[in-house]
């Protein structure tokens, strides 16, 4: 609360100083124009430059004194779709009233200044002369201030609506991402439990090893609940825990290779984005074939982007349609929500046989974001 109040007062002080500088400059300009006009017309005048300058300065600084009243009328009676008729009925007399009050300030200052200079003058004459000579020029200033107040208010409301819309969009995106994550967790768990169930009677030792690694994997998963992004090295730890389970399941039929660029380890990636890609490569590429296969995880940085490739030597894509199950579909949806068109996920044929799943996202390091 104190910070807000301090910022408000500092803002008002800065605005006051800026307007004072503006009033001084414009007063000098008007004074110079008045002197030049009288010189060109060869009109005699007892007014000297300091006198004209001080009067012009009071004219413009005086508007700063009465401006709060203009802004109050503007806020209380805005020109909107429903209240513009009432606003006209209020602002026309208000413009006259505020302008007269302002000219009374200027007229009294002129009278006091003339008395200080020893000029014998009548108060009523000086004040009425000030009002009659300047009212046609002063009245539009009220409407200019009113227009500025309405424009500022409109801009502020527009910005507030934009901020509210952005917050709603962010909350919607977070809700959708969390829903996608909740879909992934039971999907992955079901597949892993199914793999364990096939081994529990045939090879109890392997089933025990898989259950142990599954418990480690679930601990990592619980630690990441609600987090949409994580560092690549943490995501690779999660992937290794999953691939250890698959390694137990497939034994010698599966070889796992890592080609990781150390410069990419601190890059931010979507949480649990690699496991569905690796699972897809194993289930639909390597598992259907009888001969051993290799799964390679590769990362690289290129032109401000992070590229991650999951390469398998399985049966490949020719003659079949790439499987787009829950894992891949959710991965694409999450990438779209997090990065929009800046991210992509493609499945292409591996020249040496098999399939390449390539993930491209903007490169954002954990240190830079922090």
Domain end marker among 165, 187, 220: 165
Q: State the Cα–Cα distance between residues 2 and 328, nearest whole angstrom.
A: 51
In a domain, 171, yes or no: no
* Residue 352 three-state SS: coil
Strands 293-302 and 254-259: parallel
In a domain, 64, yes or no: yes
Please report, for the domain that includes residue 210, its CATH number.
Answer: 3.30.565.10
Q: State the Cα–Cα distance between residues 70 and 72, nearest whole angstrom.
A: 5
What average pLDDT does range 198-214 have in this prediction?
A: 80
What average pLDDT does range 334-361 have in this prediction?
A: 89
The predicted-structure confidence for 41-66, as pLDDT tens digits, reads as follows 444 444 455 666 666 677 777 777 78
What average pLDDT does range 88-99 have in this prediction?
A: 86
In a domain, 254, yes or no: yes
Same domain? 292 vs 340: yes
Residue 300: what pLDDT?
Answer: 95
The predicted-structure confidence for 99-149, as pLDDT tens digits, reads as follows 888 888 888 877 887 777 777 777 887 788 777 777 777 788 888 888 888
Range of the domain at 97: 2-165
In a domain, 184, yes or no: no
Residue 25: what pLDDT?
Answer: 56
The predicted-structure confidence for 272-301, as pLDDT tens digits, reads as follows 889 888 988 988 889 888 889 999 999 999
Same domain? 219 vs 153: no
Question: What is the separation of C-alpha 157 from the centre of its chain, rounded to a whole number of angstroms?
Answer: 17
Give yes or no for residue 336 having a pLDDT over 60: yes
The predicted-structure confidence for 212-254, as pLDDT tens digits, reads as follows 877 877 777 666 666 778 899 989 988 888 888 888 878 889 9
Same domain? 104 vs 251: no
């Amino acid at each position: 609360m104190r910070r807000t109040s301090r910022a408000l007062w500092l803002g008002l002080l800065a605005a006051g100083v800026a307007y004072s500088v503006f009033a001084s400059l414009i007063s000098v300009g008007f004074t110079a124009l008045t002197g030049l006009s009288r010189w060109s017309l060869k009109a005699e005048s007892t007014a000297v430059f300091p006198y004209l300058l001080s009067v012009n300065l009071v004219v413009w600084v005086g508007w700063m004194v009465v401006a709060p009243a203009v802004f109050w009328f503007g806020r209380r009676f805005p020109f909107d779709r429903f209240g513009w008729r009432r606003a006209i009925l209020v602002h026309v007399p208000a413009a006259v009233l505020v302008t007269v009050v302002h000219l009374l300030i200027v007229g009294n200052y002129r009278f006091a200044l003339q008395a200080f200079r020893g000029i014998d003058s009548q108060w009523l004459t000086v004040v009425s002369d000030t009002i009659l000579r300047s009212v046609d020029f002063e009245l539009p200033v009220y409407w200019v201030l009113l227009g500025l107040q309405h424009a500022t208010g409109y801009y502020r409301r527009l910005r507030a609506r934009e901020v509210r819309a952005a917050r709603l969009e962010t909350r919607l995106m977070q809700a959708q991402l969390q829903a996608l994550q909740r879909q992934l967790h039971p999907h992955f768990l079901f597949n892993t439990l199914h793999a364990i169930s096939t081994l529990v009677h045939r090879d109890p030792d392997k089933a025990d090893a898989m259950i142990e690694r599954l418990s480690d994997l679930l601990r990592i998963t619980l630690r990441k609940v609600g987090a949409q992004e994580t560092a690549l090295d943490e995501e690779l730890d999660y992937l290794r825990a999953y691939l250890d389970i698959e390694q137990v399941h497939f034994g010698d039929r599966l070889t796992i290779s890592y080609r990781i660029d150390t410069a990419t380890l601190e890059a931010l990636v979507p949480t649990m984005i690699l496991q569905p890609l690796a699972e897809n490569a194993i289930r639909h590429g390597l598992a259907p074939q009888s001969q051993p296969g290799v799964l390679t995880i590769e990362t690289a940085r290129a032109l401000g982007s992070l590229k991650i490739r999951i390469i398998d030597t399985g049966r490949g894509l020719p003659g079949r349609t790439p499987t787009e199950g829950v894992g891949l579909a959710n991965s694409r949806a999450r990438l779209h929500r997090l990065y929009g068109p800046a991210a992509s996920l493609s499945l292409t044929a591996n020249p040496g046989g098999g399939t390449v799943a390539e993930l491209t996202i903007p490169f954002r390091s954990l240190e830079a974001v922090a």
